[in-house]
């Protein structure tokens, strides 16, 4: 497996790998990583679909990418997905997946046309004082000291960030700024989360800094993530004969460890020199060994019966280890969502613990699932039942929410909310069967253990109706109308997710297993808790990238995996983001110590009259 960039390999069709007709695949889970792996097995590895078996513990596919109308409960979306135009693997795959709406076009086609005709941007990023505009005015509000703290983190080597929280690097200069409000609510970072992940995010999305305040950097699907992404992939796979086994819990994968394993080159053929050098330089898992590791048995539970699937070296196993929506619970209009972090057999965490006990290179799950008080937040889906609540929404988003176009353009954060509540309305209807006069609103709160401002209870103790009351309060609904509107003009379904940001917990190299561990013969890890270099978790791209890398490695597919977009190596993006973070102020206006100020002045003298000075002026750096 090797990385590539540009169009030379982007549209090439690989030759059929030798021996693929004699191989089979067992894929654990049906999240994006798992479905992507199945699609790449079909499209590029050209494995017969009937040889591919997908094992899913739930009755429906999708993992964290869900969206459902639950009888007697209502519409539920546990989360939403924000996409980037440089999700290279995602778009590589979706160009081949037919649209459900029109089979003659691809999912990529419909997505591209939609976001070109209806570009995303927000007209109100935050509110204060019960529905009043937060007045951020698109500014980051960073002092020179705060900008320096961010820069210091950006340049700190990964090894020095191991197991360290964000607060080791940011103080109140950053944490009280608009920048941190934008960032923490958009990505669900908490102050105690990983400084390493924070750095990786800044580097990964440096090209989108300018679009952070108004979400113009983002693109969204037409419908909820399940109907827009999961269903098209599932139907594509079913059309190729792939076998789905629902209500099937995988409790363990048993490995045989010993002997000398396969020696896979870190780089493959066909790369440019710079990519060979870059890939060879990627840090390896410190627990890696060349010892041979073979998946020999999968233990499953179905319909209350335990059975084993015996494996040969030609049976490929793709394992979704861990899971951010494990232990999720759903409440109702009149019922809170239970707090239940207990890890049980048949779930992603318990399975990963059993796997990790067999070899040190298989990761350390408890680093992520060991403290659910630091990895949880709650969401709720509010469905408006008539037009009574709509005017309060429209006053904030400044758009008619019933046009089918962009509404809020991303989350609206209630800055003075005790729960740090945010809410969003994506294009309506969010469900194909949703009544035309109803809206589905997604609400989430980062501080589930804190009392609300109207409902004086912790969010995790609230019914759907009470969460709706708190939301209406922050919309600016008159207090004498709140109770009646929440009870009779909306249906609200809360969801508690104890491990939703488990992947942001402070960590170090080796805590996540490599997608294909050194010495592995017939297995790979998928999803948010597998390690692939340079990309960032909590994205659709990360999961799908692990699926592509896993298939290309195990099946020896001779085509490049598109590298992570390299904006961090583009001097134009670096200059633009530096200026934008300072709200348009040039670098030369920073209050620097005398020595640094003199040094900067001398450097600018040296480059005067050159293309370097021209570039600095073009991007407003001087």
Distance CA 229, CA 319 (A): 21
Distance CA 540, CA 543 (A): 6
With a CB cutoff of 8 Å and minimum separation 6, the contacts of 296 are: 254, 255, 256, 310, 311
The CA angle 418-422-423, to the nearest 5 degrees, is 140
Quick check: is 499 catalytic? Answer: no
The CA angle 374-379-382, to the nearest 5 degrees, is 165
Residue 352 neighbours by CB distance under 10 Å: 28
Tokens, residue 600? 């900067």
Distance CA 344, CA 538 (A): 23
Query: Residue 386 gets which letter from DSSP?
Result: S
- Which residues are paired to 329 by β-bridges? 496
Exposed (0-12), middle (13-18) or buried (19+): which is 159, by Cβ within 10 Å?
Answer: exposed
Cβ-contact 530, 362 below 8 angstroms: no
Element (H, E) at 487: helix 479-488
What 3-state DSSP class applies to 381?
Answer: strand
Q: Which one of 3, 9, 56, 82 is the catalytic residue? A: 82
Q: Which one of 26, 40, 75, 201 is the catalytic residue? A: 201
Closest CA to 323 of 527, 504, 601: 527
- The DSSP secondary structure of 284-342, one letter per residue, reads PPTT---EEEEEEEEEEEETTEEEEEE--TTEEEEEE-S-TTTT-EE-BTTBPPP----
What 3-state DSSP class applies to 260?
Answer: strand
Phi-psi region of 304 (alpha: psi -120 to 50; beta: other; left: phi over 0): left
Quick check: is 82 catalytic? Answer: yes
Length of the chain: 622
Closest CA to 57 of 352, 301, 339, 321: 301
- The DSSP secondary structure of 95-117, one letter per residue, reads TSSBPSS-TTSBHHHHHHHHHHH
Cβ-contact 470, 421 below 8 angstroms: yes
What are the residue numbers of the active site? Answer: 82, 201
């Amino acid at each position: 497996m090797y990385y590539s960039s540009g169009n030379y390999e982007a549209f090439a069709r690989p030759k059929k790998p030798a021996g693929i007709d004699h191989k089979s695949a067992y894929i654990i889970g049906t999240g994006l990583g798992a479905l992507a792996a199945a699609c790449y097995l079909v499209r590029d590895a050209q494995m017969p679909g009937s040889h591919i078996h997908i094992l899913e513990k739930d009755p429906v596919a999708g993992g964290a990418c869900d969206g459902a109308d639950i009888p007697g409960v209502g519409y539920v979306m546990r989360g939403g997905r924000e996409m980037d135009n440089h999700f290279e693997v995602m778009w590589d795959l979706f160009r081949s997946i037919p649209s459900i709406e029109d089979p003659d076009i691809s999912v990529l086609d419909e997505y591209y046309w939609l976001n070109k005709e209806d570009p995303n941007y927000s007209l109100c990023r935050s509110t204060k004082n019960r529905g009043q505009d937060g007045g951020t005015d698109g500014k980051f509000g960073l002092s020179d000291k705060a900008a320096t703290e961010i820069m210091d983190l950006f340049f700190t080597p990964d090894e020095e960030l191991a197991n360290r929280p964000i607060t080791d690097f940011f103080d109140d200069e950053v944490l009280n700024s608009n920048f941190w409000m934008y960032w923490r609510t958009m990505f669900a970072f908490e102050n105690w989360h990983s400084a390493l992940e924070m750095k990786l995010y800044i580097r990964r999305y440096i090209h989108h800094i300018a679009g952070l305040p108004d979400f113009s950097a983002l693109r969204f699907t037409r419908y909820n993530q399940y109907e827009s992404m999961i269903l098209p992939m599932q139907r594509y796979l079913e059309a190729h004969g792939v076998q789905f086994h629902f209500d099937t819990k995988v409790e363990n994968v048993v490995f045989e460890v010993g002997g000398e394993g396969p020696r896979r080159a870190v780089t493959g053929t066909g790369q440019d020199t710079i990519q060979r050098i870059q890939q060879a330089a990627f840090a390896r898992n410190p627990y890696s060994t060349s010892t041979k590791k073979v998946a020999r048995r999968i233990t499953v539970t179905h319909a209350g019966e335990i059975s084993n699937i015996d494996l040969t070296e030609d049976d490929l196993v793709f394992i979704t280890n861990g899971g951010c929506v494990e232990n999720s619970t759903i409440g109702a209009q009149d019922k809170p969502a239970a707090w239940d972090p207990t890890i049980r057999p048949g779930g992603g965490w318990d399975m990963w613990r059993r796997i990790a006990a067999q070899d040190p290179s298989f990761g350390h799950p408890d680093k992520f699932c060991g403290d659910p008080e630091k990895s949880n937040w709650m969401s709720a889906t509010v469905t408006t039942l008539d037009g009574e609540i709509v005017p309060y929404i429209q006053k904030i988003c400044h758009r008619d929410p019933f046009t089918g176009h962009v509404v809020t353009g991303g989350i609206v954060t209630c800055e003075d909310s005790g729960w740090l509540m945010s809410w969003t309305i994506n294009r309506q209807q969010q469900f194909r069967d949703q009544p035309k006069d109803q809206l589905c609103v997604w609400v989430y709160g980062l501080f589930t253990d804190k009392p609300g401002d109207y409902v004086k209870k912790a969010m995790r103790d609230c019914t759907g109706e009470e969460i709706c009351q708190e939301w209406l309060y922050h919309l600016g609904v008159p207090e004498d109308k709140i109770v009646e509107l929440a009870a009779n003009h909306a249906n609200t379904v809360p969801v508690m997710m104890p491990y939703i940001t488990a992947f942001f917990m402070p960590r170090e190299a080796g805590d996540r297993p490599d997608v294909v561990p050194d010495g592995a013969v017939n297995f790979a890890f998928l999803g948010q808790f597998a390690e692939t270099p340079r990309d960032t978790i909590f994205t659709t791209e990360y999961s799908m990238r692990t699926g592509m890398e896993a298939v290309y490695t195990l099946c020896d597919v001779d085509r490049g995996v598109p590298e992570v977009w390299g904006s961090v190596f583009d001097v134009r993006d670096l200059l633009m983001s530096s200026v934008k973070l300072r709200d348009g102020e040039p670098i030369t206006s920073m209050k620097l110590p005398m020595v640094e100020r003199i040094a900067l002045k001398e450097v600018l003298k040296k480059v005067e009259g050159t293309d370097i000075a021209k570039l600095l002026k073009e991007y407003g750096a001087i």
